[in-house]
């Protein structure tokens, strides 16, 4: 199975969306068990989802600074925190 198709499905799962037609949770888990690159991709996507949620959870004036710190970390390849 193509990794790009799996990654699309993983993204949907992280966002709480339905999986693409023809893919099941079992398919995803089986692929992840054998594909180190997709496991890494999922871990990074989870971290990004969490960081974005944390950065946008606040509606005060600190939120723009948190978003900027996150973006700066992404640009340099590391998570802001």
Residue 67, domain member (yes or no): yes
What residue numbers bound the domain in which 16 lies?
3-76
Number of domains in the chain: 1
Residue 81, domain member (yes or no): no
Residue 46, domain member (yes or no): yes
Q: What would the pLDDT profile of 14-64 be if each residue is shown by its tens digit?
A: 889 999 999 999 999 999 999 999 999 999 999 888 877 766 665 555 566
Residue 44, domain member (yes or no): yes
Q: How far is CA 72 from CA 23, 42, 68, 80, 81, in A?
A: 35, 21, 6, 7, 11
SS (H, E, C) 2-27: CHHHHHHHHHHHHCCCCCCCCCCHHH
- pTM, rounded to two decimals: 0.65
Q: Please answer whether residues 65 and 72 qualify as being in contact, where contact means their C-beta atoms are separated by less than 8 angstroms.
A: no
């Amino acid at each position: 199975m193509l990794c790009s198709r799996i990654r699309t499905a993983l993204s949907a799962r992280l966002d709480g969306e339905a999986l693409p037609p023809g893919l099941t949770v079992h398919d995803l888990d089986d692929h992840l068990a054998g594909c180190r690159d997709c496991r890494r991709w999922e871990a990074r996507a989870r971290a990004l989802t969490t960081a974005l949620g944390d950065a946008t959870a606040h509606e005060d004036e600190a939120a723009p600074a948190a978003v900027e710190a996150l973006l700066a970390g992404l640009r340099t390849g590391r998570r802001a925190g």
